[in-house]
Amino acid sequence: MRKWAHLSWDMGINGQHHEDARTARTGQPTEPEGAAAEREEAAERNVFDEKEDIRGGTESRKAASSHVSIPELHHHRVASVTSLSRPCNTAPIPHFPNTRLPFTLRWRIFCAHRLGIDLDHPSHASPEACGPKLTNSPTVIVMVGLPARGKTYISKKLTRYLNWIGVPTKVFNVGEYRREAVKQYSSYNFFRPDNEEAMKVRKQCALAALRDVKSYLTREGGQIAVFDATNTTRERRHMILHFAKENDFKVFFIESVCDDPTVVASNIMEVKISSPDYKDCSSAEAMDDFMKRISCYEASYQPLDPDKYDRDLSLIKVIDVGRRFLVNRVQDHIQSRIVYYLMNIHVQPRTIYLCRHGESEHNLQGKIGGDSGLSSRGRKFANALSKFVEEQNLKDLKVWTSQLKSTIQTAEALQLPYEQWKALNEIDAGVCEEMTYEEIRDTYPEEYALREQDKYYYRYPTGESYQDLVQRLEPVIMELERQENVLVICHQAVLRCLLAYFLDKSAEEMPYLKCPLHTVLKLTPVAYGCRVESIYLNVESVSTHRERSEVSVSSLALEHQPDR
């Protein structure tokens, strides 16, 4: 039976850890033969036949006696789980009459019920039910800076990273609100500081965006909102601070400062002239108008001043596209992670190549995990990859592998230096390592069904989940952002996690991204994202991709009923 130590570790009574509970958890019997089975049966009946509200019932039981038997201890475990959950479900507790459904599965279904999670539709679960919040209060990230300084680039890239690590984040671009309010853009005159009518429209657009920020952070489960606008005056920033104080939001300012005319002109040519504002203009006309628009903002620009006026604000100044940074009064963990991320990214042209190892012996056998070497076709792919890399003629290409045989053998054919990363090892399948999916389904049917229903959050017994894998891969992402040309040779689940980061895929999509063997994915960063090319190296292989299943967890209760 799988031990739920993380749910019951701290459940001793009156501050003392109950010795019998320790014995039950470690599986070391201290009673006569047969007593353990009777005790477990009693515990199951007490957990799943309870009709009262468990939280209230627990208090009455604690008052009734200072000595708690093992069956009662299960009540305390359940109470601790339910008291921590925000969306506590008050509907009748699931009951499984005449069923020999494994206790571990009954326990999971019970806990999911109390959390309000529909196991047949796990994507309907609230973020709070699926994992802990990484912020102790909602945060508004306020972008500051003149036009064409990379504010939207930073906003979108940072949002992609925060969503990838599990922090629900959304960008609110005030320019989009302005384009919605003013259907037809005329010229830079709209942004002149003496254009009072336009100033009123721009302020109303900012207020509309802030209303949506409030809705996102208070009613839609968001944890961070990125307010993407110029916000170049202290008056505008004071309005945002007042809004945040009224709603008990934290504020973190990110100011992008760049005085290099070459960088500004490049940004305008790459991004701004293709914006909806200039859809009917030539490149020269768009460039001229946008430079005049910048001049309108420069007339009233008040940079953040951490030495005097803004010394109490939490902020980071990104100077000359990351050449220098100035950080002031970082308040919490998530702000420190944001600072760390911004200090690692760059905008230099580069190419990232991602691929899986060559076909392995375990791939041929349909087994997951393990540490097998390459098959004959896998070795052919390694040679084909070597030829492909040579044809790319990349300067200073870095090659990264995991510490498993299949990636190392693939990299050795390149005849290039390579670095081994433990973080790039395949997802740990725990007790299911080196088993086929058919064997898992037959041996651990409840685990098989639970994973099919929620592949991102499901954790193999003694193994990992995709969520765990994302946390493990965060240092890899940070280092990838610092590098130029890199080839990463890794494994299917790892490649899915990396690809989800670069392509801004959700946690629900991530475990089902197609990453075939013997195919190289070429990633080229562009203005607000990444362009992907899939290059098949013409070496046959097995397919290890599995589509989303329709297995129902709750239906297992019927499947496990004994014949009568």
Tokens 């504002």 map to which residue?
A: 277
Query: Which residues, including other chains, have CB under 8 Å from residue 318's CB and lie 6 or more apart?
Result: 150, 154, 254, 255, 256, 257, 325, 342
Are 547 and 512 contacting, i.e. CB atoms less than 8 angstroms apart? Answer: yes
For residue 361, say whether it is annotated as part of any ligand binding site. yes
Provide the token pair at 172: 């609110």
* Distance in angstroms (rounded) separating the CA atoms of residues 62 and 33: 30
Strands (E), 118-217: 139-144, 169-173
* Distance in angstroms (rounded) separating the CA atoms of residues 232 and 328: 18
The alpha carbons of the chain give a radius of gyration, in whole angstroms, of 28
Tokens 């959304």 map to which residue?
A: 170
Catalytic residue selected from 18, 74, 76, 426 = 426
For residue 356, say whether it is annotated as part of any ligand binding site. yes
* Distance in angstroms (rounded) separating the CA atoms of residues 487 and 424: 13
The count of C-alpha atoms lying within 13 angstroms of the C-alpha of 165, restricted to the half-sphere facing its C-beta, is 23
How far is residue 139 CA from its own chain's centroid? 17
Catalytic (active site) residue 426:
yes
For residue 360, say whether it is annotated as part of any ligand binding site. yes
AA identity, residue 236: R
For residue 419, say whether it is annotated as part of any ligand binding site. no
Q: Cα–Cα distances in Å, from 551 out to 87, 99, 448, 449, 555?
A: 26, 19, 9, 6, 8
Catalytic residue selected from 18, 74, 75, 357 = 357
Are 491 and 466 contacting, i.e. CB atoms less than 8 angstroms apart? Answer: no
Strands (E), 221-349: 224-228, 250-257, 315-319, 324-328
For residue 357, say whether it is annotated as part of any ligand binding site. yes
Catalytic (active site) residue 464:
no
Nearest to 128 by CA among 225, 196, 39, 221: 221
Rounded to the nearest 10 degrees, how much is the dihedral formed by the CA atoms of 497, 501, 502, 505?
90
* Distance in angstroms (rounded) separating the CA atoms of residues 81 and 68: 18
Q: Known catalytic residues?
A: 357, 426
Summarize the annotated binding site for substrate as residue ranges: 356-363
